[in-house]
Amino acid sequence: MKAENQRNILALAMAQAILGSQMPMYIILGGLVGQSLASNVCYATIPLSLLIVGSMVSSPILSNLMQSTTRRLGLVVGNLAGLIGSLTSLLGIFLKSFEIFSLGCFVSGAYMASQAFYRFTATDDCEDRFKARAISTVLSGGLIAAILGPFIVKISLSLNNSVPFLYSYLAIVILNCLGPFILSYVKPIPLSKSSEGNTNDNSNKTNLNRPLVKIFKSPVISVSIICSMIAYGVMNLIMTSSPIAIVGCGFGTNQAANVVSVHALAMFAPSFLTGQLIEKYGEKSIISTGMLLFLLAVLIAYQGVDISNFYISLVLIGIGWNFSFIGSTSLLTKNHNPFERGKVQGINDFFVFGFVALSSVTSGWLMNCGANSSKLGWEVVNLTATPLVIFALISLFCLWIANHSKLRKI
């Protein structure tokens, strides 16, 4: 890997670490703030859902902006939207307005979308054999974010303030202010001029800008998007409801923050090895392993609501997400042309965050209105995740059968 690429990846990893620390803060606080401001507890996770809807809507816009200009410009625009959104949410908390707070979360979704493009930006000038490692390195910055975000939440909540959660969202505003400085170190690569970096003769990598209908006829691209959707959606479904479930089962807010912190660590700590595992065993094997870890997490969640069950289940969910999401991303980047990056990556994240938004809304409803207790609501949430994971495993198996049939014909 070229030294220039390594510097770019390091800058993106730093952005993931510092700017990304606001994501666990949103996860810990979003449902709790929503619960404190909403007129009906069934709407508690609406702000979190709007955060993800905002990400879904802005993903294709940012992707096309990056395609026509540079990656760096698109990332900075997303960061500035995050600053505006966090200021709006701060105003909503100060005024005790659920509507203004929710609007701020929606605008902040553009930041979430831009952060998701860090992983794609890292692969722009990489050869295929280094792409999984580049993605893993960038996402490993989330390890710092997983520690820093919950730490800021604990410190901010410990400060005396007549308006709950105000200092926490002020901290998010400050983090967003650091964004333009950190992102200035990212190489401004125009996607329309970036090189693929792969010299293999492959029909999927000709310099043809295929229409989306033709692109999605590729089983590999379809399955990679399906697995990304389910990996992120299932993780979000369970993670979003976990703070509410933990507090509802008699544990404190600090305990909920600790569980989310450990979960976030599990999401990103494996990144130091995931790229190498993909290089050795292949994307499909690592994605399948991640999905199996999801099923194991659900099984443990069913065993009870002791705090240890929450910890173990959320750790397995984190590792499962890391394997499945990095594997799916790597699989996608290896199966489209450089001229198609803007629309393929934008549509990929549109579907991913659309499904995550649906899972977020569903999570809050299942926890607060789909059952008569937090314990039962937690079980229902995990039950809902199970068929989705099984569907992803079936899709991977069908892809394996299709590839095996092609090899036999050859």
Look at residue 367 and tell me whether its pLDDT is greater than 50: yes
* Residues 42-54, mean pLDDT to the nearest whole number: 83
- In angstroms, how far is the first alpha carbon of the chain from the final one? 33
Confidence at residue 388, expressed as pLDDT on a 0 to 100 scale: 96
Q: How confident is the model at residue 290 (pLDDT cuts 50, 70, 90)?
A: very high
C-alpha 181 chain-centroid distance: 23
**Cα 68 to Cα 76: distance, rounded to the nearest angstrom:** 15
Confidence at residue 337, expressed as pLDDT on a 0 to 100 scale: 75
- Per-residue pLDDT tens digits for 132-150: 889 999 989 988 988 898 8
Assigned domain for 175 exists: yes
* Residues 108-112, mean pLDDT to the nearest whole number: 93
Look at residue 342 and tell me whether its pLDDT is greater than 50: yes
* Residues 320-325, mean pLDDT to the nearest whole number: 96
> Which runs of consecutive H residues, i.e. helices, occur in 189-252?
212-215, 219-248
Confidence at residue 294, expressed as pLDDT on a 0 to 100 scale: 97
Confidence at residue 198, expressed as pLDDT on a 0 to 100 scale: 43
Assigned domain for 318 exists: yes
**Structural domain containing residue 234:** 3-184+208-409
Q: Which of 265, 228, 258 is nearest to 242 (CA)?
A: 258
Assigned domain for 191 exists: no
Assigned domain for 192 exists: no
Phi and psi dihedrals of 319, rounded to 5?
-65, -40
Assigned domain for 60 exists: yes
The distance between the two most distant Cα atoms of the chain, rounded to a whole number of Å, is: 71
- Read off the CATH number of the domain in which 76 is found: 1.20.1250.20
Confidence at residue 3, expressed as pLDDT on a 0 to 100 scale: 62
Q: How confident is the model at residue 362 (pLDDT cuts 50, 70, 90)?
A: confident
Confidence at residue 115, expressed as pLDDT on a 0 to 100 scale: 92
214: exposed, middle or buried (Cβ count in 10 Å: 0-12, 13-18, 19+): exposed
* Residues 5-16, mean pLDDT to the nearest whole number: 89
Q: Structurally, how many domains does the chain consist of?
A: 1
- Per-residue pLDDT tens digits for 252-276: 878 887 888 789 889 988 988 998 9
Least trusted range by pLDDT, from 115-119, 248-252, 287-291, 358-362:
358-362
Look at residue 308 and tell me whether its pLDDT is greater than 50: yes
More confident residue, 4 or 95: 95
DSSP string for 189-203 = --TTT---------G
- pTM above the 0.85 mark? no
- Per-residue pLDDT tens digits for 168-177: 999 999 999 9
Q: Is there a contact between 349 and 272 (Cβ–Cβ < 8 Å)?
A: no
Structure-token pair, residue 298: 């659900």
Average pLDDT of the chain to the nearest whole number: 86
